[in-house]
Chain A
Amino acid sequence: MFVLPVLAAIVLMLILPTLLALALSVTDYSVYALADWSNLRFVGVDNFVELFSTPLFWRALGNTAVFAILGVPMAIGASLGAALLLNSASVHWKPLWRVLLFAPYVTSVVATAVVWRFLLNTRFGLLNYALSLVGIAPVDWLGNPRLSIPAILLFVTWKVFGYNMVVFTAALSAVPQDLEEAARLDGAGRWTRFCHVTLPAIGPTVLLAAVMSVAGFLQIFTEPYVMTLGGPAQSTTTVLYFMFDQGLKWWNLGQAGAVAFVLFLLILALTFVQARMGRRHEWL
């Protein structure tokens, strides 16, 4: 009785759109159908077959995988590192540092992406200037297809690490101090203490952060869109960018529905795997 409103909201906003997307993906909905409903045809799995034989789709999947494989460790590593640094007793003015390090998270993505485009500019960007001070030749960050994903990941890591840093700070404060003390007195080094005392204690939080990060990185869209428009040579076209292009730019909503469904299954599978791993470590 009391769950009815929430259930209604979930059905209307989550389940119904998913079913509609699935319905769209088995038709050839396009601009022609927008013009005249009788142009719409039911095509079954044709959209999926066509999708799997489009080289750009596989390239987009590969790019998304690279984004996730490189980005998740970078983001979580940066957040965890910052949280550990802030946790140290020798750091003063902790609230100030927390605000400064969290600040990038609340900035507008588009505005900061534009600024980072200037920073990463090959000829007069600050990053290449800094590299030139240590004798490294100018790097074509956003123009080299092999370097474009790391360049965007630099920006993304800077932008998002603040959120998980705050989460980890909260988790680190729950690590039993007496265990730490005992380990230190027993002669355990920093790294051993981290692996055997800290990490097991914050395990569930790391799992949560990992699950959210993976889902987030698999759906990365704004940063490639603003910084490189999916280029150079489509090296930063992600699955969501491909879906946006097909669906909203060219109005091939049938194809886009197919992409959305494939992405949904992919994220579901990965989350399932992560949950199994978490359960094994008793983090879930």
Chain B
Amino acid sequence: MIAGAGVATASWATGACTRRADPDALQFWAMGYEGDYSPHLATAFTRSTGTRVETQSLSWTEAHEKLLTAFAGESLPDVFMLPAHWVGEFAMIGALARVGDATLVDMLPGAVDLTRAGGSGYAVPWVIGTQVQYYRRDLIEQAGYPEPPADWAGWRQMGLALKRRRPDAFTILLYLNWPEALLTFAAQLGAGLLRERNTLGDFASPEFREALRFYKSLFDDGLAPRALATQIQDPVGAFAQGYFAIYPDGPSLLLDMRRRAAEIPPDNWRTAVMPTPHGPAPAPGVCQTLVVAATSRRPREAWALVRHMTSVPSGLRFQRLIGDLPARASAWRDPQLANPRLKAFADQLAHLAPTPALVEFEQIRMEVQLIAERVVRGLVDVNTATTEMNKRVDLILAKRRALVQAGRIA
């Protein structure tokens, strides 16, 4: 209780410093572009129901701690956005209101499974996305490839051919502090990251080691720059200049490509599914969901806002604005989503790899990537690294292991 008071003071000083300008408005928090462009969707809601909505856009680097601090300080907003793999954590601490099953109909297959925690629904899938390759058609055509090969071996040959033509440029941009690429390769090979009811790490498995070796080879062959996200200030500009030929990203990059069409003519880039070891393989998807806080003082209006944001017209409007793909299945019948540029996303969304619904999963992803970065920089070899990953993850999961063995959690 005292610690809570201490944290409450801290959060009052930091998180809730902006006093509500409009006490009648619903508070809505979202991250990234979804947060920046939500006011466009909220105006239609205000027009139809008369309830004002105050949107706050969080940056991804601070979102996790800001939400946890807001919960501890009892200043969560009415409605907020959560990536699906955080839903378990926030449901466990009691921050979320339960969702009735009736609200969760008409969703893309796999989207609802990503958001379940302890058998109940706590979040409504809003937008869903996955990483695909945005590739410079003109650059890879110069190396003799009309499109990137679909298998790893052919793809590597293309990369080496590109490197021979332009030794100072790179084939693909893989940030060394983002875990998406490595975890996609692991999922494609079928490497389950955890074992024993998700209480121990399984990174020494042959599949994960192969994924890590492939990941490392991309850097060793000079196909990807050894750069952190903080070092490339303008990735779209670098893509336009041809610093790298392939930019793996989600649907929201479509917005940047539209804005900077003067630098990259639309004819010069296409999308394609990420290369797989052999044949179609599952890949992790990212589902952003909307949740209502359990402490919301206006649950009826909050749920109305969630229903509005996840409706088909809102989903299509959002797709036009920022490129994000709706999780609502019936939205996909609209011709707007039959755009050829979206075909790669649709194909990949049909095979989504499951993500463990764990409290510690975000921390595990980050720590695994930190060790993978040391592998890429040659500071440690693959086998030692995977053993270290297991040790680190076992330590992170120690509390969970104790609770599972005591039968307190599933």
Q: Which residues of chain A come closer than 8 Å to B3, judged between CB atoms?
A: 20, 23-24, 29, 253
For residue B229, CB closer than 8 A to chain A, the reply is yes
A229 touches B93 (CB 8 A): no
**How long is the Cα–Cα vector from A24 to B93 in the complex, in angstroms?**
19
For residue B165, CB closer than 8 A to chain A, the reply is no
- The smallest beta-carbon distance between B162 and chain A, in angstroms, is 19
Considering the complex, which residues of chain A in the window 136-156 have a beta carbon less than 8 Å from any beta carbon of chain B?
Answer: 142-143, 145
For residue B92, CB closer than 8 A to chain A, the reply is yes
Knowing A17-B6, A231-B373 are in contact, say whether A143-B92 is a contact too (CB < 8 A).
Answer: no
Q: Which residues of chain B come closer than 8 Å to A233, judged between CB atoms?
A: 373-374, 377, 379
For residue B171, CB closer than 8 A to chain A, the reply is no
Q: Which residues of chain B come closer than 8 Å to A10, judged between CB atoms?
A: none
Complex partner residue of A145 from B2, B362, B377, CB under 8 angstroms: B377
- The smallest beta-carbon distance between B356 and chain A, in angstroms, is 15
Q: Which residues of chain A come closer than 8 Å to B400, judged between CB atoms?
A: 32
Interface size bracket, B side: 35 or more
For residue B320, CB closer than 8 A to chain A, the reply is no
Interface size on A, residues (CB 8 A): 32
B227 touches A34 (CB 8 A): no
For residue A87, CB closer than 8 A to chain B, the reply is no
Closest to B370 in A: A234
Considering the complex, which residues of chain B in the window 358-376 have a beta carbon less than 8 Å from any beta carbon of chain A?
Answer: 359-360, 362-363, 370, 373-374
Contact with B along A126-143 (1 / 0, CB 8 A): 000000000000000011
- The smallest beta-carbon distance between B62 and chain A, in angstroms, is 9
Closest to B91 in A: A35
**How long is the Cα–Cα vector from A117 to B228 in the complex, in angstroms?**
12
B403 touches A250 (CB 8 A): no
A229 touches B6 (CB 8 A): no
A249 touches B64 (CB 8 A): yes
For residue A50, CB closer than 8 A to chain B, the reply is yes
Q: Which residues of chain A come closer than 8 Å to B71, judged between CB atoms?
A: 34
**How long is the Cα–Cα vector from A234 to B228 in the complex, in angstroms?**
11
- The smallest beta-carbon distance between A123 and chain B, in angstroms, is 8
The 9 closest A-B pairs by CB, nearest first: A35-B93, A248-B65, A250-B363, A35-B92, A231-B228, A34-B93, A249-B65, A233-B377, A251-B68
Binding site for A on B (CB under 8 A): 2-3, 6-7, 61, 64-65, 68-69, 71-72, 89, 92-94, 176-177, 226-231, 233, 359-360, 362-363, 370, 373-374, 377, 379, 395, 399-400, 403, 408
Query: What are 20 inter-chain pairs, A to B, with CB distance below 8 A?
Result: A23-B3, A30-B399, A31-B68, A32-B92, A32-B399, A34-B68, A35-B92, A39-B399, A142-B230, A142-B231, A228-B230, A229-B61, A229-B230, A231-B373, A232-B226, A232-B228, A234-B374, A248-B65, A249-B64, A250-B360
